[in-house]
């Protein structure tokens, strides 16, 4: 649903939140949008390759997923590794 074509149609600085499925967002297009400023912020509770990395401690290991590591390098990206279901409420941001 979110790909290079749909990102082009968005307002500059848009915030993207994905709590559904990782496959809803073309991650490489998301990264391109973050790099060029079209996407101002991203909150991801899901990632398309999450089964390989979420729910385990990799603090002393090398993560070989370059796309995930690139996402983690952005200061305006928050990845919560499929933990959103632990929350008791919902935060809605309207700009």
Residues noted as catalytic? 21, 50
Each as own residue / partner, the long-range contacts of residues 54-60 (CB below 8 Å, 24 or more positions apart, any chain) are 54/81, 54/82, 55/81, 55/82
* Gyration radius of the chain over CA positions: 14
């Amino acid at each position: 649903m979110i790909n290079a074509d749909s990102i082009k149609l968005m307002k500059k600085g848009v915030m993207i939140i994905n709590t559904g499925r990782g496959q809803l967002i073309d991650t490489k297009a998301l990264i391109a949008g973050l790099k060029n400023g079209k996407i101002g912020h991203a909150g991801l509770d899901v990632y398309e390759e999450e089964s390989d990395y979420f729910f385990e401690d990799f603090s002393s290991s090398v993560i070989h997923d370059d796309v995930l590591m690139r996402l983690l390098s952005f200061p305006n990206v928050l990845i919560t590794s499929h933990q959103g279901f632990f929350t008791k409420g919902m935060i809605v941001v309207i700009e």
